[in-house]
Amino acid sequence: MQDRVVITGYGCLTASGADAAMTWEAILARESGIRQAETWDSSGWPYHLAGEIKDYNPRELVADRKLLKFITRQDVIGLNAVTQAVAHSKIIEHRDGFADPSSFNDRTGVFVGSPATKYRSQHDYLSSLSKAAGDPREFGIRAMEDVHPMWLLRALPNNVLAYAGIQYGFKGANANVTAHGISGSQAIAEACRYLRDGAIDRAIVVGYDSASELEALPYYASVGLLSSRGLKPFDRSRDGTVLGEGAGALFLETRDEAERRSATIYGEVLGSSVVSEAEGVLSVREDGAGVSQAIRSALEDSEKSSDEIGMISAHANGTRVSDASEARAFIDVFGASSIPVTGFKWSLGHTIAASGVIESILTLRCLADGRVPGIPTLEELSPDCEGIRASAVEQKPKSSVGIVVSRAFAGLNSCIVLSTNG
């Protein structure tokens, strides 16, 4: 019998709220954190919407001020979520009871969904390039003078993994998943794998991103993925997504470990999947076959049948093809109008590598509170999404089991199955 994996802590930071409770309240209150981007002067930009963290202040988000020299905005956001989830789990108080915590630390993993490197990390070289005026030798000389010696370390895609480990002394199995929009979900999936394999007893899992960076907006718009009006999942008039910033973190343990320390159990990860449609970087199958395959595979992994599922947290990113193909998959697997479908990106923006973890936390809240929030920007269900039970008004989950669907470039699809039926 494989170990079961339970959730004993969580935390998040989103455009809609500084923690999980605030984010959840904002969504129930039908509030969106999407605004005109303010991190730079976006006035006059045709695509100017973003789900940015409000009142971003790194000194308040990360306790270790010296660390701020070595990390970037996305790392700050990620580490904040880690700190929230670890505190919520009360695991450090538990560890403090051990005379020698070394084997505890060796069996505590760190699993991360990372956005990898950003365009903006290379902006530190613009000044040297300008001065060099096309002379490569001059560029080398200038770069050595102008750029911060720690530049490379600030740019590392695995900083949140490294500093989460250093902050708490966790030394177990780890992975840094760089798979675009499924990174967060896959971090959960891989943590569960190592927990089930018995390689670790507990793990912090985090997905983080600052997807709405300066260059991302025009470039995502160039391939037709952004909306200039707002994110309207499954709506007839939807015309694209909105990028956002955020991070979510879960503390996972084997059920045995959690019960042994009498931890509060917020839910269980029943199973997961990751599959590829194999159609290229930007292509998406219109028939939703990849999403269907991901859902079926996750249900099988969870030993659940489709009629036991009580709600769907859809990817719902507001692009024409993704929403329509996803809707087809839901009908294919569950039948028409059977299960409440919601999504959260209309409020948070698309936080890419963070989205799977943030949406898993919100799904837990849905199941715990028996409330599936409506999608306020869904005014008229699109004909190509007909048959799914997505609604502008709140619904009730049909059971205590929910699924979280995430999608990414490279035709990647992931599904996480969660339960609050402790």
Residue with tokens 């697997």: 333
Q: Candidates 53-61, 93-101, 239-247, 406-414 — which segment interacts with another protein by CB under 8 A?
A: 406-414
Q: Tell the smallest beta-carbon distance from residue 37 to another protein (Å).
A: 10
Question: Which residue, 235 or 253, has its beta carbon nearer to another protein?
Answer: 253
Residue with tokens 């699993």: 111
Q: Is the dihedral of CA 141, 68, 173, 421 positive or negative?
A: negative
- 355 interacts with another protein by CB under 8 A: no
Q: Tell the smallest beta-carbon distance from residue 249 to another protein (Å).
A: 16
Question: Which residue, 162 or 372, has its beta carbon nearer to another protein?
Answer: 162
Please give the structure tokens belonging to residue 82: 């880690």
Comparing CA positions, the residue from 369, 279, 271, 287 lying closest to residue 324 is 287
Site string for another protein, 72-91 (x = CB under 8 A): --------------------
Q: Tell the smallest beta-carbon distance from residue 50 to another protein (Å).
A: 12
- 399 interacts with another protein by CB under 8 A: no
Phi then psi for residue 389, to 5 deg, are -90, 60
Question: Which residue, 21 or 278, has its beta carbon nearer to another protein?
Answer: 278
Question: Which residue, 172 or 374, has its beta carbon nearer to another protein?
Answer: 172
**376, 318 in Cβ contact below 8 A?**
no
The Cα–Cα gap between 182 and 254 comes to 23
Question: Which residue, 82 or 378, has its beta carbon nearer to another protein?
Answer: 82
Question: Which residue, 228 or 264, has its beta carbon nearer to another protein?
Answer: 228
Pairing mode, if any, of strands 108-113 and 202-210? Answer: parallel
Q: Candidates 19-27, 52-60, 185-193, 259-267 — which segment interacts with another protein by CB under 8 A?
A: 185-193
- 410 interacts with another protein by CB under 8 A: yes
Q: Is the dihedral of CA 140, 144, 146, 151 positive or negative?
A: positive
**403, 352 in Cβ contact below 8 A?**
no
By CB under 8 A, the residues from 28 to 57 that bind another protein are 40-42, 44-48
Q: Tell the smallest beta-carbon distance from residue 217 to another protein (Å).
A: 7
Rounded (10°) angle between helices 20-28 and 355-369:
70
Comparing CA positions, the residue from 256, 342, 332 lying closest to residue 295 is 332
Q: Tell the smallest beta-carbon distance from residue 161 to another protein (Å).
A: 6
By CB under 8 A, the residues from 215 to 244 that bind another protein are 215, 217-223
The Cα–Cα gap between 151 and 148 comes to 5
Residue with tokens 């599922």: 309
Judged by CB under 8 A, the residue of 16, 114, 292, 420 near another protein is 114
- 320 interacts with another protein by CB under 8 A: no
- 70 interacts with another protein by CB under 8 A: yes
Question: Which residue, 218 or 422, has its beta carbon nearer to another protein?
Answer: 218
Judged by CB under 8 A, the residue of 49, 161, 291, 364 near another protein is 161
CA distances from 260 to 100, 193, 242, 419 (A): 18, 21, 43, 20
Judged by CB under 8 A, the residue of 38, 64, 69, 140 near another protein is 140
Please give the structure tokens belonging to residue 409: 């470039």
Q: Candidates 25-33, 76-84, 103-111, 310-318 — which segment interacts with another protein by CB under 8 A?
A: 103-111
Size of the residue set binding another protein (CB under 8 A):
97
Q: How much is the CA Rg of the chain, to the nearest whole Å?
A: 21
Phi then psi for residue 243, to 5 deg, are -80, 150
Phi then psi for residue 297, to 5 deg, are -65, -40
Judged by CB under 8 A, the residue of 101, 169, 230, 387 near another protein is 169
Site string for another protein, 250-289 (x = CB under 8 A): -----------------------xxxxxxxxxx-------
CB within 8 Å of 44: residues ≥ 6 apart = none
Question: Which residue, 298 or 341, has its beta carbon nearer to another protein?
Answer: 298
Q: Which residues in 293-338 belong to E strands, given as ranges?
A: 311-313
